[in-house]
Amino acid sequence: MVSSLAALRGPAVTLVDDPFAQASRACLQYHEDALVLIEDGTIRAFGPYAELRDTVPDGITPEHFPGHLLAPGFIDTHVHYPQLQMIGAFGAQLLEWLDTYTFPAEMSFADAAHAERVAKLFLRELLRAGTTTAMVYCTVHPHSVEAFFAESERFNTRMIAGKVLMDRNAPSPLLDTAQRGHDESLALIERWHGRGRQLYCVTPRFAPTSTDAQLEAAAALLKSRDGLFLQTHLCENPGEVEWVRELFPARSSYLDVYAHAGLVRPRSMFGHAVHMHEHDFCTCHQTGAGLAHCPTSNLFLGSGLFKLFEATDPRRPVKVGLGTDVGAGTSLSQLQTLNEAYKVAALAGHKLDAVQGFYLATLGSARALGFDDRLGRLAPGHEADICVLDPHATPLMAFRAGYCASIEELLFMLMTLGDDRAVRATYVAGQRVYDRDRAGDPFHLPDAA
């Protein structure tokens, strides 16, 4: 088989370690002029161009991005693709928001053609934002998962997704049963888990919409194949937490509902975790479960402020990733999500620096997903999912960049002022699938592998 080679050149940043555990400056690698050499979708070499230029094979001309920043593609650990059509819905907190806007939107996915249309738009919007991996909620309809994975497979993106499980407390068109949800999920697992870059995530929506029997069925599904993921919601809103207490009086906490069912483990990702007790953080630390910090959503729905620096306390660190949580979240851009994460931390008297921010959006999210051996870094052996950031994307950013005296200042400017306009290009497995400045259609399906 002939191997495919590509090379990128330009200023580059990558995280190499956890800035919540040690000094930020020890965790960021920055090269003013770097080379990324890519073979068959995997990074073969990464380092200063001057040191690596002689390793570029004859006939390969690096694509050069002077004045830009090569970075690992962003990872979004919590997002709902069917909620694009009601992002920015006015005036409700979580439970009212679900009833008024979310469930009706998800009901429209009974139409498979609608699911296909939205999946196409969603994948493109992720790539426009520089996001190359996401953990995604579909709807209760199996064909919503089919539509999502089919589109992701066309782009060869590494995506993690699953069918929502709900067997109570939702409109009847959105309900399955413990048995039916299990069987439909299993069929999707057999069809999609590990096919190309697609991975399956068992997806009970949240404790109020699943019976004990369904949560137990979810645990059984996790045992059906190696490497499956789990996603659900946890401790997002005070009214929701109270409801869970009423529904599960025998459990010691909201997290204990999931722990009792056997759902708290590595590769389990709990969205929000705003109203947590110390013993809940301890459980996450001991089990290796991850939390998805979703600041734009928590602010938009008035849910509360995630305690990032308590969660990541080095005495018992919990793995934390960054999530947009669209459509409760208000942007698919992880730069905009970091903008709000900074403010949420500031309200608790903390300073989220740029290295910590970019860690959350890349390597930290990969670690929370248990995928840091392959994702979230520019390093040999890692999958070549790369975004090219443009610090001069707008007149204001270009002006402000002129006053940035260090790479940390430039990154902080990007995470404060940046959004999808600051993403010049996105590479998936070494192929350019999005080019902001390309005339006509900026998206390009990769050549077949």
- The footprint of Zn ion (CB under 5 A) covers 271, 325
CA–CA distances in Å: residue 420 to residues 135, 169, 293, 321, 400:
19, 37, 20, 20, 18
Contact 342, 416 (CB under 8 A): yes
Contact 429, 384 (CB under 8 A): yes
- 328 binds ligand GUN per the rule CB under 6 A: yes
Q: Which DSSP letter does residue 308 get? A: H
Q: Which one of residues 31, 44, 205, 377 is an interface residue with ligand GUN (CB under 6 A)?
A: 205
Torsion of CA 390, 395, 396, 399, to 10 degrees: 80
Q: Decide whether 126 or 428 has the Cβ nearer to ligand GUN.
A: 126
Of the listed pieces 50-58, 94-102, 394-402, 426-434, which binds ligand GUN according to CB under 6 A? 94-102
**Least distance (Å) between residue 301 CB and ligand GUN:** 6
Show contacts with ligand GUN in window 1-30 (CB under 6 A): none
**Least distance (Å) between residue 389 CB and ligand GUN:** 28
Q: Which one of residues 149, 155, 206, 300 is an interface residue with ligand GUN (CB under 6 A)?
A: 206
**Least distance (Å) between residue 80 CB and Zn ion:** 6
Q: Which does 420 bind (CB under 5 to 8 A by kind): ligand GUN, Zn ion, none?
A: none
Q: Where are the alpha helices (DSSP H) in 197-294?
A: 212-222, 238-247, 254-261, 278-287
The rounded radius of gyration (Å) of the Cα atoms in the chain is 21
- 80 binds ligand GUN per the rule CB under 6 A: yes
Q: Which does 176 bind (CB under 5 to 8 A by kind): Zn ion, ligand GUN, none?
A: none
Q: Decide whether 137 or 412 has the Cβ nearer to ligand GUN.
A: 137
Q: Decide whether 258 or 412 has the Cβ nearer to ligand GUN.
A: 258
Contact 101, 112 (CB under 8 A): no
Q: Which does 76 bind (CB under 5 to 8 A by kind): ligand GUN, Zn ion, none?
A: none
List the one residue out of 430, 78, 48 whose CA is nearest residue 230: 78
CA–CA distances in Å: residue 409 to residues 129, 176, 307, 391:
21, 50, 24, 11
Residues that bind ligand GUN (CB under 6 A): 80, 94, 98, 102, 205-206, 233, 236, 297, 325, 328
